[in-house]
Amino acid sequence: MATGIKDKVAILGMGCSRFGERWDAGTADLLAEAFTEAMADAGIERRQIEAAWFGSCMDAVNVGNSAIPASMALRLDGIPVSRVENMCATGTEALRSAAYAVASGAVDIALAIGAEKLKDTGYGGLPSPFKGTLNDLWLNLGSAPAGFAQLAAGYRHKHGISPERLKQALAHVSWKSHENGALSPKAHLRKKVSMEQILNAPMIAEPLGLFDCCGVSDGAAAAIVTTPEIARALGKKDIVSIKAIQLAIGSGVESSTDQWDGASVRTTRLAAQRAYAEAGIDDPRSQLDLIEVHDCFSVTELVTMEDLFISPEGQAVDDILGGFYDRTGGGVPCQVDGGLKCFGHPIAASGLRMAYEVYTQLLGRAGERQISSPSVGLTHNLGGVPFQGIAAISILGLHS
C-alpha cells in the first residue's frame, strides 16, 4: 500500500532569480542565477547532483522542447536531465519529479529548476496560439481573464454575494499582494497600490479590473533535494522537508458535463484532499502557517481559499475583508511575497518560486516580510482554466 513521501525528502538548497522585464538576461542567464544561489545554499559541488528535471512551458517562444538548454546552461554534464511541462503547474511538476526520484532511492541528490522568458515575445500576456490543437478547439475564442472571470459570476450566484461586496474583497486581495510585494526585493512590481486605485482601474473582464490580473514576467527558480539523513550528514541543522506533493488533472468532466457549479475549482479540491491526507493535516485553517496560491487573478485567490478548505463555503469574502489572510492579520498569511500579482508569472518558474518563499519563511530568512515562527506552509498552482485544468499542491514543513 502506498505510504506517500512525507518527510522522505529534504530541501537541501533553493534559489530564485529576480523576476521582471529581464532584458539584461537570456533564459540561460536566469537559470544560472537561480542555480548558483541554490548551489551556494545547499553547500555542495555540481558533481554531486545525480539527476535534474527542467520545467519549461512555452517551448515555441522560449528555449525549445528538450532538456539540452538546461544541461548546457548549468553544465550538467552526462547526468540524466529531463524536461517536464504541465501548463502553469510546470514548476511544481519539476519539484515532484525530483522529490520522487530521491524518495524512491534512485538518486541521492536531485535538482528541480524552472524558467520562462516571456517579455521578449512581444505579447502583453501569454503568446497565442501556444498550446496546440486541443486548446485551439476548446478555447479558440477564450482568454485567461474571461475564463477566470466566470468564477466570479458562479461564486456570486451560488453564495448570494452582491457584486459590490465581491468587488471589495477582490480589491483587498490585490491590495494585500502589493503591500507584501513592496517588501520583496526579487518581485517584478514593488509599488504599493491604494484601494481607490484598484477599484477605479479599467475593466478587463467583469468584475476583473487591471489590478485584479497578474502579468507575465521573466524568471527562474530552483530546488536541490535529498534525504533528511544526507542533509544532516552534509551539516544541515534546520531542515525543511516535503510533507506532500499532489496533482489533480481534469478529465473533461467540468467542461463537457453539468458537474461543475462554476463557483469552485474541482481539481484544487481533489489535490488538496490528497495532500492533506499525505501530510497528516486534518484542519488546514489552524495547521497551516502560510500559503502561496495561484493568484493569476484576484478571484482565483478568493475561490482557492475555499477550495483549500481553509475558509468555509461562502465565507472567503468575509475572511478576506476581515484580514484573515493578511501578512499581519493573525490568520493564515497568503502571498507573503506578493504572489503572482507582484512577481508576474513566468510559467515554469512560478511553482518553484512559491516553494522558495515558503522555504525562506520556514528558515526565518525573509527579512522585512518575515512572519512569526512558521512551521508548515503550502503552495498551490493552477494550470489551464477552472473548467479544464491542472491543480498542483505541495506542503513543506520543518523536519523534526
Higher local confidence (pLDDT), 254 or 197: 197
With bands split at pLDDT 50, 70 and 90, how would you rate the model's confidence at 400?
confident
- Smallest CA-to-CA distance from 68 within 76, 33, 51, 35 is with 76
Cα separation, 248 vs 386, in Å, equals 12
Cα separation, 84 vs 73, in Å, equals 17
Chain segment 321-363, per-residue pLDDT in tens:
999 999 997 799 999 999 999 999 999 999 999 999 999 999 9
Q: Radius of gyration over alpha carbons of the chain, in Å?
A: 20
Starting at the edge strand found earlier in the chain, the sheet holding 10-16 runs 81-84, 51-55, 110-117, 218-226, 10-16, 240-249, 388-398, 376-385, 290-292
How many Cα atoms within 13 Å fall on the side-chain side of residue 104? 9
Q: Which residues are catalytic?
A: 88, 345
Whether residue 254 contacts residue 147, with contact meaning beta carbons closer than 8 Å, is answered with no
Calculate mean pLDDT across residues 374-391.
92
Burial-class residue 368 by CB neighbours within 10 Å (0-12, 13-18, 19+). Answer: exposed
Calculate mean pLDDT across residues 367-371.
97
Is the per-residue pLDDT at 133 higher than 60? yes
Calculate mean pLDDT across residues 51-57.
95
Cα separation, 194 vs 77, in Å, equals 50
Confidence at residue 58, expressed as pLDDT on a 0 to 100 scale: 79
pLDDT above 70 coverage of the chain, percent: 94
Chain segment 17-28, per-residue pLDDT in tens:
999 999 999 999
Cα separation, 222 vs 356, in Å, equals 8
Cα separation, 114 vs 370, in Å, equals 25
As a three-state string, the secondary structure of the chain is CCCCCCCCCEEEEEEECCCECCCCCCHHHHHHHHHHHHHHHHCCCHHHCCEEEEECCCHHHCCCCCCHHHHHHHCCCCCCEEEECECECHHHHHHHHHHHHHHHCCCCCEEEEEEEECHHHCCCCCCCCCCCHHHHHHCCCCCHHHHHHHHHHHHHHHHCCCHHHHHHHHHHHHHHHHHHHCCCCCCCCCCCCCHHHHHCCCEEECCEEHHHECCCCEEEEEEEEECHHHHHHCCCCCCEEEEEEEEEECCCHHHHCCCCCCCCCHHHHHHHHHHHHHHCCCCHHHHCCEEECCCCEHHHHHHHHHHCCCCCCCCHHHHHHCCCCCCCCCCCCECCCCHHHHHCCCHHHHHHHHHHHHHHHHCCCCHHHCCCCCCEEEEEEEEEECCEEEEEEEEEEECC
Chain segment 183-239, per-residue pLDDT in tens:
999 999 999 999 999 999 999 999 999 999 998 899 999 999 999 999 999 999 999
In the block, which residue shows the cell 511575497?
337
Q: Pairing state of beta strands 208-209 and 240-249?
A: unpaired
Cα separation, 348 vs 64, in Å, equals 13
Whether residue 190 contacts residue 181, with contact meaning beta carbons closer than 8 Å, is answered with yes
Confidence at residue 138, expressed as pLDDT on a 0 to 100 scale: 62
Whether residue 14 contacts residue 41, with contact meaning beta carbons closer than 8 Å, is answered with yes
Is the per-residue pLDDT at 95 higher than 80? yes
* Mean pLDDT score of the chain: 93
Confidence at residue 54, expressed as pLDDT on a 0 to 100 scale: 96
